[in-house]
Amino acid sequence: MLRHRRLCRRAVAALEFALVAPVLVIMIISVFEICKALIIRQEVINTAHSISLTASLIAVQGNGTTALSHSQVQAVESDIFVEIPWLRDGIEQGNASVTLSGIEFSEQDPGSTGTVCAPYTNCATSFSPYVAWSVPYQPAQNGLSSYGITFAALTRPCGKMTSGILDITGDANTPITYANFMTTLRVGGITYPDPILVADVSYTETISSFPLTLFAGNTLTFVASAYWPVRVIPFNANTSPGDQIGSGELTVYDPANQDKSATAHCKANGVSLP
């Protein structure tokens, strides 16, 4: 009897499969979660890329200057739903932030005097970036759909960037994280300053599947920043790049249509630029 039972091989495969199945399932889920995370990670980069280059294009005015209205900025920032369709579909419901900023460069501090290098040449002096304006995506305040996603109203601190600037030659290995990405601009080694639009995008994904929930506090946050020059050549190149701030030549944010939120952009907050 006992021998018979020992020899009984019925349902062995099922039993063994039952033993390995959890491992298999965990592996499959892991592959799914990892791939999903990698896809979102790439889509976050693409979002920053897309927003910055689109903004730089629509900012070009018929007369060769550049300007963006508040609604244009909001519309461009909503590109996140194009680049990360899962946000629209309800598959992803994490927290996000999208911010578009206008960054200009000045060789010297506002009001001071000093040597200004010849325009659009290799300037020996290093330039300081100034945040001229910084506008977060706030769909609720602007009548746009948020698809249930919570958008954090992050802005780059206005005015001269005095900290957090990473020198591409000396401090290149400092990782950019969610904690520092809004204060970081990797332009420390730039000797050829040119105004840029900066798109900062973050997305925090909640991990719900074991065993990845063991890692990273159940969430993964991806950040990406894209720097993009404006797409127009100022036909009159007499302006020194050191004098570009507030010159209206580039990256003008329309102050007549001010940010409707409490975290208004710089000029609405009264941060005066030279």
Partner 1 sequence: MKRQLRCALLAENRSGVTSLLFAIMMVPLILILGLAIDFGFYIDASSKLDLAADAAAMHAVRAASMAASNGTTYQNAGLLAGEQWFAAQAEVVPGVALTGGAPVPPSEAGKNCTTGTGPSPATVTVTVCYTAPTYTATVTYTGTTNIFFSKLVGISTWPIAGTATSTITNSFVDFGIMIDNSQSMLIGATTTDITTMNENTPCAQVTANPAITDNNGYPGLSMQAYSYFFNGLNNPYGQGPIGYYYYQNANGQIVPQTLPSLTGPAAGQQCDPKLIGGCAYPASIIYGGAGKPLLLTKNTGNNIIGACNNGGGAPGAAGPNTPQAPCAFACHQNANGGDYYAEARKLGVTLRLDIVQQAAQNLLTTMQNYSKPPQTLLNVGIYTFNSSLQPVYPCTSLTGCASPFGDDLGQASKDIKPCTGTETTGCLIPPITLDKPNTYFPNVFAQAAAFLAGKPGDGLSQATAYKNLFIITDGVSDWNIDANNQPVGVNPDGSPNGGVQQAVGPLDQLIVKPCDALKNAGFTIYVLYTPYQPLPTWTYSYTQQASLPAGVNYYPYGVTLQNFVTENDPTTFPDYNPQLTQPDTPIQAALRACATNSNGFYTANDSADINNALQQMLATALNSAARVTN
According to DSSP, residue 248 is labeled S
CB 114 → partner 1: shortest distance, Å? 20
65 binds partner 1 (CB under 8 A): yes
Identify which of residues 16 and 109 has a Cβ nearer to partner 1 in the complex.
16
Give the contacts of 112 (CB within 8 A, at least 6 positions apart).
Answer: none
186 binds partner 1 (CB under 8 A): yes
- Of the residues 55, 96, 98, 226, which one makes contact with partner 1 according to CB under 8 A: 226
175 binds partner 1 (CB under 8 A): yes
- Segment near partner 1 (CB under 8 A), from 86-94, 96-104, 155-163, 225-233? 225-233
64 binds partner 1 (CB under 8 A): yes
> 21-50: which residues touch partner 1 (CB under 8 A)?
23-24, 27, 30-31, 34-35, 38-39, 41-42, 45-46, 48-49
- Report the C-alpha gap between 230 and 104 in whole angstroms: 11
Rounded to 10 deg, the angle between the 12-58 and 70-77 helix axes is: 160
CA–CA distance from 19 to each of 7, 27, 30, 56, 259 (Å)?
20, 14, 18, 57, 59
In three-state secondary structure terms, 92 is coil
- Of the residues 71, 115, 177, 191, which one makes contact with partner 1 according to CB under 8 A: 191
- Report the C-alpha gap between 237 and 227 in whole angstroms: 22
Identify which of residues 41 and 160 has a Cβ nearer to partner 1 in the complex.
41
2 binds partner 1 (CB under 8 A): no
CB 206 → partner 1: shortest distance, Å? 19
- Of the residues 22, 90, 170, 189, which one makes contact with partner 1 according to CB under 8 A: 189
- Segment near partner 1 (CB under 8 A), from 69-77, 94-102, 170-178, 207-215? 170-178
Q: Which residue shows structure tokens 């802005």?
A: 155
Helical (H) or strand (E) element with 17: helix 12-58
User: Got the DSSP string for 125-146?
Assistant: S--EEEEEEEEE--TGGGT---
- Of the residues 4, 5, 238, 270, which one makes contact with partner 1 according to CB under 8 A: 238
Please state the separation of Cα 179 from the chain's center in Å.
13
Joined tokens for residue 97: 């932030």
Output phi, psi for 221, to 5 deg: -115, 130
90 binds partner 1 (CB under 8 A): no
Number of residues that bind partner 1 (CB under 8 A): 62
CA–CA distance from 51 to each of 42, 79, 92, 201, 244 (Å)?
14, 6, 20, 9, 23
210 binds partner 1 (CB under 8 A): no
179 binds partner 1 (CB under 8 A): no
- What is the number of other CB atoms lying within 10 angstroms of the CB of residue 40? 20
Contacting residues toward partner 1, per CB under 8 A? 9, 12-13, 16-17, 19-20, 23-24, 27, 30-31, 34-35, 38-39, 41-42, 45-46, 48-49, 52-53, 56-57, 60, 62-65, 118-122, 168, 172-173, 175-176, 186-187, 189-192, 194, 224, 226-238
